[in-house]
Amino acid sequence: MRLGNWLTVDEARSPWQLPNTYTVKGKRDRAILAVLLGCGLRRKELIDLTIDHIQRREDHWAIVDLVGKGGHIRTVQMPEWVKRTIDDWLTLAEMTQGKIFRCVCRTGVVWGTKITEKVVWHVVKEYAGRLGVSKLAPHDLRRSWRIRADPIPSRSCNRPNYREIPGMQATVPARRE
């Protein structure tokens, strides 16, 4: 018996590409989905993510000193495509410090200092609904990320094995057989 939902690489590509990148909300939503799909963060970790967490380590981007469930501190490797998506959002929102994800009102104005876990839930549900997937939750994106990750971390990162996907110009983990 299988609990929860998993996405294949092709299925994971779809929600990430749905947000309208010509709107402020679309850029933010795309960045949220990119972090969930590419880094496997929990909702709480995502809303607590600050600009200072993202650093260049050796030859890759990483989310460093991330405080996760149970207060555990970890480092998570960040694929280049996720970093580019976050940079697009930060540039548009004109943010240089603080939490990465903020509220966007209906008129497209960025406001506040953070978003809630409920906002993350609604973002995932909105794009899952557009795909016709009724039972997709934010943790399903983490679950999909985790089953493709190498169980033996290297260089203090959770996801050492990546490969490029044509059409996404994105780095995702190689699927384990």
Superfamily of 9-165 according to CATH? Intergrase catalytic core (1.10.443.10)
- The Cα–Cα gap between 170 and 146 comes to 17
Q: How far is CA 99 from the centre of its chain?
A: 14
Domains in the chain: boundaries: 9-165
Task: Express as a percent the part of the chain with pLDDT over 90.
Answer: 56
Q: CA of 145: how far to CAs of 23, 108, 113, 114, in Å?
A: 27, 30, 28, 24
Measure Cα distances from 107 to 23, 25, 56, 163, 168 in Å: 10, 9, 34, 38, 29
Q: What's the rounded Cα separation, in Å, for the pair 38 and 16?
A: 10
Give yes or no for a contact between 170 and 38, defined as CB atoms under 8 angstroms apart. yes
Of the listed ranges 98-102, 107-111, 159-163, 165-169, the least confidently predicted one is: 165-169
pLDDT band (50, 70, 90) for residue 100: very high
